[in-house]
Structure 1
Amino acid sequence: MHLHILGICGTFMGSLALLARDMGFDVSGSDAGVYPPMSTQLEEAGIVLREGYAASNLDPRPDRVVIGNALSRGNPEVEAVLDRGLTYVSGPQWLAEQVLPGRRVIAVAGTHGKTTTASLLAWLLESSGLEPGFLIGGVPRNFGVSARLGGQGAPFVVEADEYDTAFFDKRSKFVHYRPDIAILGNLEFDHADIFDDLTAIERQFHHLVRTVPGRGRLLVADGEPALERVLEMGCWTPVERFGNQSASAWRFELEREDASRFRVIHQQGDTDEDAVIDWSLTGTYNARNALAALAGAHACGVDLARGCAALARFETPRRRQEVRGEVAGIQVIDDFAHHPTAIAATLEGLRAATSRGRLLAVIEPRSNTMRLGTLRSRLAESVASADQSFWYQPSGIDWSLESMLAEIPASSHLVEDIDALVQALVAEAKPLDRIVVMSNGGFGGIHERLLAALEAAHG
């Protein structure tokens, strides 16, 4: 059966393509502006990619077309699908119909940390011999792929996104998954292009809560007022909380300030069990991600001590504090941070782990929320932990970053050309500095260009 995927290089759709190929489908797809790591992953899997959207991409006629949520009416390939009367479906619906039936589904939801938490959870299940399937919006380096079917009947971990499903289905993606276990990691305003306010997103999260059965489990972060409001709308499933509040079933105590070592305490009735995590990640937000993953794995039968030991071997997903290279003692780090809260948390964690040298933040405000300027009042404070910040103003953004930069106490720079940005970074960077590049897109291949320029300057 020939399956053709529109928007195949998106993290979700590319992962879907890998699952379909492993199920025996003949898979092809089209996209515009493809970039690694997804394009590389698909090419290595032997999946045919067609650059750009055109009616000719639908020849020969596919049996079914899966349409990504980045596609809308007016797109030439979408119009051809409709005009030719082809059978089409959204990605989340295809996953729900073809992959998830008969599996114990664990959905990882939240504004931030979904990819890391889902990767942690999949690794914990794998380390315990459960052979999980998964679909994650990134590439977990412990697995090398963003999706796999896993063992027959094994648990399936899915990164559960609140963004809408498709141009013909405006519900959040995660309502399709019907999970047995749902992790709610945090919740704040995002996706200003489709949601009017936080209340609208809370309503979608409650739609997810409604789908979790009474025999299932909700794992909910403590200290999150928006999540508490979601539960107040109605809850029919046992709830366990995780975080650092004393009443939570899962909590942590730092043993190093940068959260690279901490103790996990799991309270069950009147008894506690505990174990220590000593790993390569930093930041209290990653400690919370680990708690969520441990709670999810424990619900699937994974022992706490064994799970904590496995996390010592965990590698961050691609583009999550990923060290892309080091030249002359200058480290280049790639991070997917796409929201002021995520930017601040990443930089705070790296600051705590940086004893020598400076932290230079490089930011492309590329997400729809940041491009619209909805959260621009919070952008200046998000880089408080950086010694200097470099801001790239991409074309198509309808507000200027210049006035915002005046509010940043540390040195800041505004650049409108990537070559000029690379030159400025090379001129500024010194041995022991860490350059953190933050974008949810390809950023014009800046990582490779920066490393090459540093090599030329210091080689």
Structure 2
Amino acid sequence: MRIHFIAIGGSAMHNLAIALHKKGFQVTGSDDEVFEPSRGRLQRHGLLPASMGWHPDFVSEDIDAVILGMHARPDNPELIRAQELKLKVYSYPEYLYEQTRDKTRVVIAGSHGKTTITSMLLHVLKSLGRKFDFMVGAQIKGFDTMVELSDDSGIAIFEGDEYLSSPIDRRPKFLWYKPHIALATGVAWDHINVFPTESEYNSQFELFARTIEPDGAFIYYEKDKVLSEIAENLQEVTVIPYDEVTADTKDGNTIVESEGVKYKLGIFGHHNLQNLAGAMEVAMKIGIPKPDFLKAMTSFEGASRRLQVLAENDESKVFFDFAHAPSKVRATVTAVKDQFPGRHLLAVLELHTFSSLNKDFLSQYQGALDDADEAVVFYNPEVVKHKKLPPIDPQEVKNAFEKNGLSIFTNPTDLKQYLENIRIKESNLLLMTSGNLSGIDVQNLANKII
């Protein structure tokens, strides 16, 4: 099979390209810019384009499939050439489905927690020596890539994203996968640029539930109102609600007891105990006994940038987390404060996504930082301008969060100086962003602070 990737440098795209290359496919690709870590990974496998830019002459009739990434535009010259030649053009979720048609597909969806639950399942399956295909949205310790496809596995575990499939396919990615087992963690409005109303966003999860194969299973967080209503109306599908695993916290550790056996886990927070409960339900559906699941979870260190500990000593920790949407920020802040109630918590949040920098969405953050003892919000007006959004006044941000004493930074230099001057004692620092804090080296920063 010869496969050509348009916009091969994307996070998911380059991982899929490497997975197909490992499977023995002939893979080529193009992009107008490729950054690390994609660049180095593609180079190691001989897949980095020799020159940047779009080259219609790279697209020929002998190509079996073209995979189109979100970074490309609908008027991309390579895409136009592929359409002229009547080549089959796939989005990457569509192609993942094609590669796993004959396998049991497990899809983890939700506005939050889907990467963590997917990571939990991958870790457990690998620990138990099970063979599986997968796609996950973060780097996980022990896995070289975020995508793997093979000919000899009978199961595929996919993280199900509700964002667009491709520039020419505006359906959510998770509508392609047609799961036999689907899990949904919760629904909290996001991606305002694609789903301008909350009801429109919520309806995508109903559509997702309807894609479950007959006699499949829908596993859902029972305290989520939207998911509960969806579950009530499902037919020809087994519905399985879950809450959260009961646990004790001791000396900063999470202890789960089952059938008289205690398991010390590296995860913490109510949201992660919910994630654990959901992952355990999926594991049991695919034949993994509860004791085996929990034993494997004792060595789980989490996905990259999910409450990742950058540095620590006996009295302080610096955490780094991908949290950016209101529900994720609220859950992450609460988790750190609950786990270390005696420590002062300084939470720093960067507003970076289209939704978070949109005035019409800002009010969703009300109370999201309330559990922090001290809080900072940073946003870069240049990023707002780049996203072609109306300017935001710092006071509008303060009004939206309604957090007493909230500090607002809009200048990257001022933020860097502020963070570098922090000295924490009997305190935790929580850095939250889906961006990069305007280029701050967070690991170096954490080492200095600790």
* TM-score of the superposed pair, with normalisation by structure 2: 0.86
Tell me the equivalent position of 1:256. 249
Cα gap change, 1:185 to 1:114, in 2 (>3 Å): same
Cα gap change, 1:7 to 1:111, in 2 (>3 Å): farther
- Deviations for 1:199-222, whole angstroms, at most 9, x for unmatched residues? 323332222222222332111110
Q: Which amino acid aligns with 1:55?
A: W
Q: Distance in 2 between matches of 1:138 and 1:240?
A: 27
Whether 1:440 aligns to 2:434 is yes
Q: Which amino acid aligns with 2:299?
A: R
- Compute the displacement of 1:112 (Å): 0.5
Maintained 8 Å contact 2:324/2:349: no
- Deviations for 1:240-278, whole angstroms, at most 9, x for unmatched residues? 11114xxxxxxx2232287822346xxxxxxxx686542
Maintained 8 Å contact 2:16/2:148: no
Identity of aligned residues (%): 23
Q: Give 5+ residue unaligned stretches, structure 1.
A: 245-251, 265-272
- Deviations for 1:84-118, whole angstroms, at most 9, x for unmatched residues? 76652211111111x21221110001110110000
Q: Which amino acid aligns with 2:414?
A: A
- Of 395-404 and 177-186, the range deviating more from structure 2: 395-404
- Deviations for 1:144-182, whole angstroms, at most 9, x for unmatched residues? 431222571331100011112122222221121111111
Q: Which amino acid aligns with 2:334?
A: E
Q: Which amino acid aligns with 1:384?
A: D
What is the aligned residue count?
439
Q: Which amino acid aligns with 2:115?
A: T
Q: Distance in 2 between matches of 1:131 and 1:361?
A: 40
Cα gap change, 1:68 to 1:428, in 2 (>3 Å): same
Maintained 8 Å contact 1:55/1:80: no
Q: Give 5+ residue unaligned stretches, structure 2.
A: 385-389
* SS at 1:287 equivalent: helix
Cα gap change, 1:100 to 1:275, in 2 (>3 Å): farther
Tell me the equivalent position of 1:317. 303
Tell me the equivalent position of 1:352. 338
* SS at 2:403 equivalent: coil
Cα gap change, 1:65 to 1:310, in 2 (>3 Å): same
2:279 corresponds to which of 293, 300, 308: 293
Q: Which amino acid aligns with 1:437?
A: L
Tell me the equivalent position of 1:421. 415
Maintained 8 Å contact 2:189/2:202: no
Cα gap change, 1:100 to 1:355, in 2 (>3 Å): same
Cα gap change, 1:437 to 1:222, in 2 (>3 Å): same
Q: How does 1:203-352 map to 2 (within 5 A)?
A: 203-244=203-244, 252-256=245-249, 260-263=254-257, 276-325=262-311, 331-352=317-338
Tell me the equivalent position of 2:352. 366
Tell me the equivalent position of 2:94. 93
Q: Distance in 1 between matches of 2:51 and 2:436?
A: 16
Tell me the equivalent position of 1:175. 175
Q: Which amino acid aligns with 1:295?
A: E
Whether 1:71 aligns to 2:88 is no
* SS at 2:287 equivalent: coil
Cα gap change, 1:34 to 1:438, in 2 (>3 Å): farther
Cα gap change, 1:125 to 1:444, in 2 (>3 Å): same
Q: Which amino acid aligns with 1:316?
A: G
Q: How does 1:124-135 map to 2 (within 5 A)?
A: 124-135=124-135
Q: Which amino acid aligns with 2:228?
A: E
Whether 1:402 aligns to 2:398 is no
- Compute the displacement of 1:136 (Å): 0.3
* TM-score of the superposed pair, with normalisation by structure 1: 0.85
RMSD of the TM alignment (CA)? 3.1
Maintained 8 Å contact 1:360/1:387: yes
Tell me the equivalent position of 1:249. none
Q: Distance in 1 between matches of 2:95 and 2:34?
A: 23
Maintained 8 Å contact 2:39/2:48: no
Maintained 8 Å contact 1:259/1:284: no
Maintained 8 Å contact 2:327/2:368: yes
- Compute the displacement of 1:329 (Å): 7.4
Q: Which amino acid aligns with 1:66?
A: I
Tell me the equivalent position of 1:270. none
- Compute the displacement of 1:375 (Å): 2.9
* SS at 2:201 equivalent: helix
* SS at 1:370 equivalent: coil
Tell me the equivalent position of 1:120. 120
- Compute the displacement of 1:124 (Å): 1.9
- Compute the displacement of 1:24 (Å): 1.6
Q: Which amino acid aligns with 2:249?
A: R
Tell me the equivalent position of 1:198. 198
Cα gap change, 1:454 to 1:140, in 2 (>3 Å): closer
- Compute the displacement of 1:338 (Å): 2.0
- Of 159-168 and 406-415, the range deviating more from structure 2: 406-415
Q: Distance in 1 between matches of 2:188 and 2:304?
A: 24
